[in-house]
Amino acid sequence: MLPTLNGRIQTRIFLLVVVGGLWLLIITPILPTGVGIGASYGATFSVLLVTTVLGVLWELLYHAIQQFRWEKDWPTLFGFLTGINEGLLVWFLFAGGVIPWSDGITGPAFVIAFATTWILVWLVANGPMRVPFVHWRINGGRLV
């Protein structure tokens, strides 16, 4: 399958909202945030929201870069490693005060939440996603 830009955006949004959202519901209470549970959920879901919105913009940039590649797609490892630059951007936006935390969150809590969510979403996209969404592969990654 060669994912289309529209398919990559749909898949990213779907996986971050569904898989990422469920994962954050589970792990947020045990994160070392240093704040109450409500503030922790507010902070982690703010990170998820910003990651989702910025992810759409990242996909536009990635699409432009991919046009220089022969097969017009990333190797699977590149898709995994893009989490580094995306995570750094989200961290700098929150830590720099561009996007305020709900009540604050620690660096280790951010790293644990972001990294585990990214890994889980990447694993689902490259494995189990192909089972219930058979046409997802045929339709260039589009879900709708």
Neighbour-count burial for 18-31, b at 16+ CB within 10 Å, e otherwise: ebbbebbeebbeeb
Do residues 124 and 19 make contact, with C-beta atoms less than 8 angstroms apart?
yes
CA distances from 115 to 12, 70, 86, 105 (A): 15, 30, 11, 15
Three-class SS of residue 33? coil
**For residue 26, what are the CA distances in angstroms to 13, 120, 129, 140?**
19, 13, 20, 31
CA triplet 102, 46, 94: central angle to 5 degrees? 70
Q: 118 is in which domain, residue-wise?
A: 5-138
Structural domains of the chain, count: 1
pLDDT confidence bin for 1, thresholds 50/70/90: low
The answer to whether residue 128 sits within a structural domain is yes
Note whether residue 41 is domain-resident: yes
Q: Each residue of 48-82: pLDDT tens digit?
A: 999 999 999 999 999 898 888 887 777 889 889 99
Residue 135, pLDDT score: 77
- Residue 144 forms part of a structural domain: no
Residue 86 lies in a domain: yes
For residues 38-56, average pLDDT: 94
> For 99-143, how does the pLDDT look when each residue is reduced to its tens digit (9 = 90+)?
876 566 789 999 999 999 999 999 999 888 878 887 776 777 777
In a domain, 89, yes or no: yes
Size (the chain), residues: 144
Residue 143 is assigned to a structural domain of this protein: no
The reply to whether 114 falls in a domain is yes
> Of 43, 82, 90, which is closest to residue 62 (Cα–Cα)?
82
